[in-house]
Structure 1
């Protein structure tokens, strides 16, 4: 089986929502419907800095990534934040995550962006094995303040 990574299309919404729900379940996150719908609209909007990637295997969507392109202060070109990456548990171990990352790296290079960055929970051993095969973890510590 070969994995095809591509941009989302409007007809992908139901399958994307299933992957999105699985991702949020994995992180015990409760994302309101209003936010989910808004995220999907931004993914499809070519003017939005939010963009998505979908991984398809034998006609079935098995993985997704959500990314944010933004300007940086340490370069003249843009940078990319990989905010969300999820592979259907039934498809894990088959190269889907690697296919998404490879596609994203190539996309960032083609755009001339200087950096691609992401984070994951330190306990997410499966994802960390994949990520460690690309780059060593750096020495940054994340702080997150939720604002009402």
Structure 2
């Protein structure tokens, strides 16, 4: 049975760290950064702190900011084998079948 729990988007708070950490760890594990290849703790700490540094280009609440600037949609990318992420994305957005390519110049 599909989980129909509503998704709440709000500004990140310092006390969210304990809930954010398992998500961060799972994200890194998905991309092969766990165990012997895990990121150093200092990277995790600095990543969390970036949410609070106005000089850093970390964009929380992207949809809200885009809407405020008059944008009509946002796009994002994920790996084709990110099944867990895609389950969530399919609930909140439309997949139009495109595959993204890039070329270093």
Paired residues for 1:1-148 under 5 Å: 1-29=5-33, 30-52=38-60, 104-112=62-70, 116-128=74-86, 130-131=89-90, 133-142=93-102
Query: Is the CA contact 1:42–1:51 (under 8 Å) kept in the aligned structure 2?
Result: no
How far apart, in 1, do the equivalents of 2:6 and 2:86 lie? Answer: 23
CA-CA distance at 1:49 after TM superposition: 1.6
Query: Is the CA contact 1:42–1:48 (under 8 Å) kept in the aligned structure 2?
Result: yes
Runs of 4 or more off by more than 4 Å in structure 1? none
Secondary structure, aligned partner of 2:74: strand
How far apart, in 1, do the equivalents of 2:25 and 2:85 lie? Answer: 18
* Aligned alpha-carbon RMSD (Å): 3.0
In 2 relative to 1, CA 35–138 (structure 1 residues): closer, same or farther, beyond 3 Å? same
5+ long unaligned stretches in structure 1:
54-103
Q: Which has the larger Rg?
A: 2
Q: How many residues align?
A: 94
Between structures 1 and 2, the one with greater strand share: 1
How far apart, in 1, do the equivalents of 2:49 and 2:96 lie? Answer: 34
5+ long unaligned stretches in structure 2:
none
Query: Is the CA contact 1:44–1:51 (under 8 Å) kept in the aligned structure 2?
Result: no
Give the TM-score normalised by structure 1.
0.48
Between structures 1 and 2, the one with greater helix share: 2
User: For residue 63 of structure 1, what is the aligned residue in structure 2?
Assistant: none
